[in-house]
Structure 1
Amino acid sequence: MATKRALEGQLAVVAGFENPSVALEQYPTPPDLAAHVVHVADLQGDVEGRTVVDLGTGTGMLALGAALRGPARVVGLELDPSALRTARENQRRVGTTTPIHWVVGDAARAPLCLCPTEPTTVVMNPPFGAQDGASGADRPFLATAASMADVSYSVHNAGSEAFVEAFAADNGGEVTHAFRATFELDRQFDFHEADRAEIETEVFRIEWTG
């Protein structure tokens, strides 16, 4: 198995959003965070030989990270077609030979074709709900994960532990692992005051049995 640092290096070529949307909270997942999440998932046996679905894949960072660790196939679901065009370009940059299916669709209402019968892992960095009126934006992503996955890994704003644990318990799931991670964000919107900011996040592994 390649090291986490090696995976991070492979993901360093992944391009972000050309015209990020504030409403969709299109912030690129940093390579180090993606490598950390995928590496942990791989160590738990949740990647190799499985179907991996990246909900709200954006330009493909988590999907491509998983594709480099030997899954049977990867599905990247994204509402924004322009982001998926970049994801396809990123696939060529990364050079993975794993079958990747890029699908335009809403992660909150995933197409029926994304309910595989084989062992499935969801990886996702859902919206944090930071914009006005967007509180709870990560809830439908978790609901979709519960409907299709045996296990999921998701990145949330710091302080989400009680919510995620309660949601999992109410939907046939259990949080088995949790760890903190720093989300480094470069300035990309006019309302950002600093050139770079650090956002404290929490990553949760959930086993779904319901």
Structure 2
Amino acid sequence: MKQAVERRLADVAAFENPRAALEQYATPADIAAQLLHLAGMQGDLSRPVLDLGTGTGMLALAAALYDAPRVVGVDRDAGPLRTARENERRVAPGRGVEWVRGDVASLPVAPPEAVTVVSNPPFGAQQRGADRPFLAAAAEHAAVSYTIHNAGSEDFVEFFAGERGGEVTHAYRLAFPLPNQFDFHDAEAAQVDAELFRIRWPAARDGE
């Protein structure tokens, strides 16, 4: 299943005009397929999936391909959302995705129940703490979240989650490729070490 999803996601177009201030880097198809595979193995795709900072829709479309019961992708930038809609037509998952424009700090959608949040937030290279609003939104709305962060973030993520009653249950190392797409890049391509965290939030216990 994971390899089939990855092949389907290979058709997802990246950002047409990426914005450095928002750290708009496309999530690679293999990482998206792996993240949702892990979520499925943990039974976390039986609830609705909310993709925060969806960009051009990679993680949301992966969730739809894994047949999550409902998938919502949220992004503040209208341009990438247009591309996400085009990507949905290109990938043609069996389940449709709801694309919503809005800021994660004040979500324009109110999930009717605890969801599984997936997100590849900014690492904070342009603005320190840029990933905090994504974790805060997950703490408010999610039973479980899967978020990607810069390597070395484990202590911060564990502290942030613990302050809000959450618990990091799994951590995975990732190699995240960065293409040369901004003026300040001086190499053709680069690779950064990243980490994926699964956090179980209080809403998961409330439903037990």
Decide which of 16, 19, 22 is 1:21's aligned counterpart: 19
Tell me if the contact between 1:78 and 1:84 (Cα under 8 Å) persists in the aligned partners: yes
Matched, 1:129 2:124: yes
Residues 129-175 of structure 1, C-alpha deviations (whole Å, 9 max, x = no match): 101xx101101110001100100000000000000000000011000
Structure 1 residue ranges, 4+ long, deviating more than 3 angstroms after superposition: none
Of all paired residues, the percent bearing the same amino acid is: 60
Deviates more, 1:141-150 or 1:93-102: 93-102
Tell me if the contact between 1:84 and 1:102 (Cα under 8 Å) persists in the aligned partners: yes
Q: Cα offset for 1:75?
A: 0.4
Q: Cα offset for 1:86?
A: 0.1
Letter in 1 for 2:135: L
TM-score (norm 2): 0.95
Deviates more, 1:85-94 or 1:115-124: 115-124
Decide which of 151, 166, 174 is 2:167's aligned counterpart: 174
**Distance in 1 between the 2:198 and 2:187 partners?**
32
The number of equivalent residue pairs is: 203
Decide which of 179, 195, 206 is 2:188's aligned counterpart: 195
Letter in 2 for 1:27: Y
Letter in 2 for 1:28: A
Question: Which residue in 1 is equivalent to 2:131?
Answer: 138
**Distance in 2 between the 1:88 and 1:11 partners?**
14
**Distance in 2 between the 1:172 and 1:23 partners?**
31
**Distance in 2 between the 1:63 and 1:126 partners?**
14
Q: Secondary structure at the match of 2:93?
A: coil
Question: Which residue in 2 is equivalent to 1:160?
Answer: 153
1:47-196 equivalences under 5 Å are 47-48=45-46, 50-111=47-108, 114-131=109-126, 134-196=127-189
Letter in 2 for 1:115: A
What do you get for the CA RMSD once the two structures are aligned? 1.0
Return 5+ residue gaps in structure 2 as ranges.
204-208
TM-score (norm 1): 0.94
Letter in 1 for 2:35: V
**Distance in 2 between the 1:31 and 1:110 partners?**
26
Return 5+ residue gaps in structure 1 as ranges.
none
**Distance in 1 between the 2:67 and 2:113 partners?**
15
Question: Which residue in 2 is equivalent to 1:6?
Answer: 4
Question: Which residue in 1 is equivalent to 2:199?
Answer: 206
Tell me if the contact between 1:72 and 1:99 (Cα under 8 Å) persists in the aligned partners: no
